[in-house]
């Protein structure tokens, strides 16, 4: 994503501004393959992937999309080679240090979801600082999932609800979807309207399983580092062609 650097890009004319997703989620897959296919180490793919994410964030903001959530590191990603895990953690920390001021100036609110207590103390400090500093920003809500796993998130929500019952602060009959939702990392964040997964893989990989019950899915063969503005435009065109019924039957015009 190198187009329009430093200047605001306008929404392509074939996209309807009234029917844009409010919240886009991305599974940034294919960094390793992108690098290997160029004879580069896998970490070069992650570095380029981070640039792609930054450009996508700017593009979403310019085009009026209010939230972007990115799956940066799953609870399963610890099983990768230690050097790769260490590099990713360093990359997150370095990016936060380097980009925070500019993101803050651009009105980006940053949140993290996942169990951050397992991360290094210095990364936790940067994460907490970025969330606190940008808390009142309104231009776009950027959420990064780190050490995130949906099953783990739902399990800990169950535990918190059970604890309320055990303490006598909640009756069984009061447990409903809203209450469970409030215990998730994403409490207060709108559900994604569109999920994009790159690199040809077609699965959710333990990402936002509860939150994506009615999310539209878009899969593309493009490797994440190559997912540019043109590719995002295609994803949005596909989204705008969908008929979202949320389980209902659309009233027919003849009825
Ligand atoms: C998946 O590709 C990618 C990741 C596990 C890491 C994604 C992280 C970034 C792009 C950095 C973003 C930075 C911030 C601050 C959020 P893969 O390695 O599984 O690719 P492969 O399937 O080709 O091996």
pTM of the model: 0.94
pLDDT reported for residue 8: 76
Sign of the alpha-carbon dihedral angle for 203, 205, 209, 215:
negative
Token pair for residue 160? Answer: 């918190």
In a domain, 15, yes or no: no
Given the CA of residue 71, which atom of ligand 1 is nearest to it? Answer: 7
Rounded Cα distance, 22 and 191, in Å: 9
Rounded Cα distance, 31 and 183, in Å: 32
> CA geometry: angle at 87 spanning 85 and 90, to 5°?
110
Q: Is the CB of 55 under 6 A from ligand 1?
A: no
CATH code, 97: 3.40.1180.10
pLDDT reported for residue 247: 83
Q: Is the CB of 161 under 6 A from ligand 1?
A: no
pLDDT reported for residue 245: 81
In terms of Cα–Cα distance, which of 216, 236, 199 is closest to 36? 199
Beta-bridge partners for 218: 196
List average pLDDT for each run of 10 residues in the chain, which is 255 residues long: 62 96 98 98 97 97 98 97 96 95 97 97 97 98 98 97 97 96 96 98 98 98 98 98 84 58
Distances (CA, A) of 85 to 67, 100, 116, 181, 237: 27, 22, 15, 30, 35
CA atoms within 13 A on the CB side of 130: 27
In a domain, 165, yes or no: no
Q: Residues 236, 56: contact at Cβ < 8 Å?
A: no
Active site residues: 29, 77
pLDDT reported for residue 171: 96
Q: What is the 3-state secondary structure (H, E, C) of 64-109?
A: CCCEEEEEEEECCHHHCCHHHHHHHHHHHHHHHHHHHHHHHHCCEE
The pLDDT tens digits for 168-188 are 999 999 999 999 999 999 999
Given the CA of residue 95, which atom of ligand 1 is nearest to it? Answer: 15
Largest CA distance in the chain: 63
In a domain, 172, yes or no: no
Instruction: Indicate the burial class of 80 (C-beta count within 10 angstroms; 0-12, 13-18, 19 or more).
Output: middle
Domain of residue 221, residue span: 21-149+191-241
Distances (CA, A) of 140 to 23, 65, 161, 176, 229: 10, 7, 31, 30, 17
- Cα 76 to the center of its chain, rounded Å: 17
pLDDT reported for residue 254: 52
Binding site: residue ranges?
Answer: 29-34, 42, 46, 74-76, 78, 80, 197, 203-205, 216
Please give the full DSSP string across 166-201, using - where no structure is assigned: HTTSS-GGG--HHHHHHTSTTTTSPPPSEEEE-TT-
Q: Domain total for the chain?
A: 1
In a domain, 123, yes or no: yes
> Which residue has its alpha carbon closest to ligand 1 atom 1?
29
């Amino acid at each position: 994503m190198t187009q329009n650097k430093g200047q605001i890009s306008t929404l392509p004319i074939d996209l309807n501004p009234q029917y844009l997703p409010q919240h886009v989620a991305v599974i940034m897959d294919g960094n390793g393959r992108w690098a290997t296919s160029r004879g580069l180490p896998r970490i070069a793919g992650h570095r380029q992937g981070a640039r792609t994410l930054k450009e996508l964030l700017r593009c979403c903001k310019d085009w009026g999309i209010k939230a972007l959530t990115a799956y940066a590191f799953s609870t399963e990603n610890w099983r990768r080679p230690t050097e790769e895990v260490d590099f990713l953690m360093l990359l997150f920390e370095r990016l936060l240090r380097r980009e925070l001021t500019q993101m803050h100036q651009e009105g980006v609110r940053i949140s993290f979801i996942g169990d951050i207590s397992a991360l290094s103390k210095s990364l936790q400090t940067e994460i907490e600082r970025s969330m606190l500093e940008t808390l009142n920003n309104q231009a776009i809500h950027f959420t990064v999932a780190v050490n995130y796993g949906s099953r783990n998130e739902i399990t800990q929500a169950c535990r918190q609800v059970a604890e309320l019952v055990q303490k006598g602060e909640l009756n069984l009959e009061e447990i409903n979807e809203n209450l469970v939702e409030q215990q998730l990392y994403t409490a207060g964040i709108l559900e994604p309207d569109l999920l994009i997964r790159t690199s040809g893989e077609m699965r959710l990989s333990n990402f936002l399983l509860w939150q994506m019950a009615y999310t539209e899915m878009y899969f593309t063969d493009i490797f994440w580092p190559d997912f540019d503005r043109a590719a995002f435009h295609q994803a949005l065109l596909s989204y705008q062609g969908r008929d979202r019924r949320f389980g209902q039957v659309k009233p027919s015009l003849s009825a």
